[in-house]
Chain A
Amino acid sequence: MTSALWTHLIKDLRIEWRSKDAINSMLFFALLVVVLFSISFDPRGAFARDIAGGVLCVATMFASVSALNQAWAREIRHQVLDAQRMAPTPGAELFLAKVIANFLFVTIVQIALAPIFLVMYNLNVQGQAWQLALVLPLGTWALVANGTFFAALAIRSRNRELLLPLILFPIFLPALLAMVVATKSILTGDSDPSLWIKLLLGYDIIFTTVSLLLFDVIFHAE
């Protein structure tokens, strides 16, 4: 049952290992967003700590959209998508494999970005830093799970690359809010982020379940 999932996952990881397209473009894009924000808002001292969480989350969000569009667009060439549609395995496995692969890519980008970020914003974490290891993966999962789903949905339309952010961002808003507030409260140490972590967890569970259930519907929509 899980062999299809492994096949898809290993294929995606291998493609990325050979080309490094997604990670490189995401990393550079996220870096650009961080620099753009720094120039626009002049972050210093306590103010830097206040906005750093938001900048990191928004940078990840913008960066991952470019990679998520590619995740499915790549399959259109040589009719791979049609082959996958005809394969006698549940589409949910393909979906989950894509989500895991993209989750790994975005996480790598975040890990690479974190030290640059800490230096450029002069951050020292006031709250409990280990909680970041909960908040960021949960938020990233929410972004990538929904993003992969909506990218598969947008690929069926005209101007697909434009459509993905338009339908992803409104749905992702509550998760973004939870991610930003939780990151901020960890960085500043002002308040307890556990409520927001629970919200993120709930969001992840609800939307991953619904995506898994409805993926076949959009994948085979004709």
Chain B
Amino acid sequence: MKKLAIGLYAVVTIALMIWGFYQAMYVAPDDALQGYIFRIIYYHVPSASVAFLFFAVSLLGSIGYLAFRRSNDNRAQIADAWALAGAEVGVIFCTVVLLTGPIWGRRAWGIWWTWDARLTTTLVLWLIYVSYLLLRRFAAGPQMQTLAAVLGIFGALDVPIVYMSNRWWRTQHPAPVFGGDSGSGMKDPTMLAAFGWNMLAWFAWGIFVLILRFSVERKHQQYAEEEAEEALAANI
């Protein structure tokens, strides 16, 4: 039953992605100013949203681990698995953002990269979570989980400061498409529809990968625990 549900969810996700691709590439019209290249927004923005959501998941997991690590070991382990899965899958989506951005920038701005507020913030965010994953590789055992949780909280605290500092520094990234000024934003309903479908598809896909990674980590924890118990029993 569980396998059937997972399979069904995967099929729906893939169907959504195909539908989203069709909407983005064939149905939605070209942008009045940017032309064809603007269609990358249908992948760039959903990936960024998914990445930020998963970093938030990772932060909650870190806080949860610190909160439960003395009182409820099982919950602490679950929280730690969420923290790891969020950071890892978030880094992947953040990488997609950092790759699609320059492709668009090359056409729209004429340059691959610029040290602008949002670009720099995203890059620093990526660096912070890569360093988080590095720490998880370098340290071992339960103390690693505590150290990683602390670093996760530090990293999340840093993000708003990085963003503010870069905004004061320089800004070139386009103003928000949604919730921006009255002059900006998507007006064409087919564009909006394509954007909505892609948002949905990428969130469905992201959550699918996240849950897979989470369950792999849970299995990993269970094996580690069983191994530890076997080693203890062998010693007795």
Give residues in A with beta carbon < 8 Å to B.
150, 153, 156-159, 162-163, 166-167, 169-171, 173-174, 177-178, 181, 195-196, 199, 202-203, 206-207, 210, 214, 217-218, 221-222
Contact = CB atoms under 8 A, between A and B. Distances in A.
B27 interface: no
Interface of B is mostly: helix
Contact of A202 (B132, B161, B168): B161
Nearest to A152: B147
B150 A153 contact: yes
Interface stretch (B46-54, B101-109, B134-142, B213-221): B134-142
A207 B131 contact: no
A169 B130 CA distance: 12
Contacts of B169: 177, 181
A163 B140 CA distance: 14
B151 interface: yes
B150 A206 contact: no
Contacts of B140: 157-158
Contacts, number: 87
Contact of B131 (A157, A167, A174, A206): A167
17 contacts: A157-B140, A157-B144, A162-B138, A167-B132, A167-B151, A170-B127, A170-B155, A173-B162, A174-B161, A174-B165, A202-B161, A206-B157, A207-B154, A214-B153, A218-B147, A221-B142, A222-B142
A222 B147 CA distance: 10
B209 to A, nearest CB: 24
Nearest to B146: A221
A202 B160 CA distance: 12
Contact of B135 (A157, A178, A203, A214): A157
Contacts of B14: none
B83 interface: no
A157 B147 contact: yes
Among A153, A178, A181, A199, the one with the most B-chain Cβ atoms within 10 Å of its Cβ is A153
Interface of A is mostly: helix
A207 B135 contact: no
A170 B128 contact: yes
B71 to A, nearest CB: 14
Contact of B155 (A171, A199, A222): A171
Contacts of B147: 153, 156-157, 218, 221
Contacts of B130: 170
Contacts of A221: 142-143, 146-147
B50 to A, nearest CB: 21
Interface residues on B, range: 20 to 34
B165 A199 contact: yes
B166 interface: yes
Contacts of B138: 157-159, 162-163
A130 to B, nearest CB: 22
A167 B150 contact: no
Contacts of A153: 135, 147, 150-151
B115 to A, nearest CB: 10
A34 B187 CA distance: 54
Interface in B194-236: none
Nearest to B163: A174
Contacts of B98: none
Given A170-B124, A170-B130, 16 more contacts: A157-B138, A158-B139, A167-B131, A167-B135, A170-B128, A170-B131, A170-B155, A170-B158, A171-B158, A173-B124, A173-B162, A174-B158, A199-B165, A206-B161, A207-B157, A210-B154
Nearest to A171: B158
A222 B143 contact: yes
A171 B128 contact: yes
Nearest to B139: A157
Contacts of B154: 171, 207, 210
Contacts of A196: 168
Contacts of B164: 174, 199
Contacts of B144: 157
B66 interface: yes
Nearest to A195: B168
A181 B134 CA distance: 30
A125 to B, nearest CB: 22
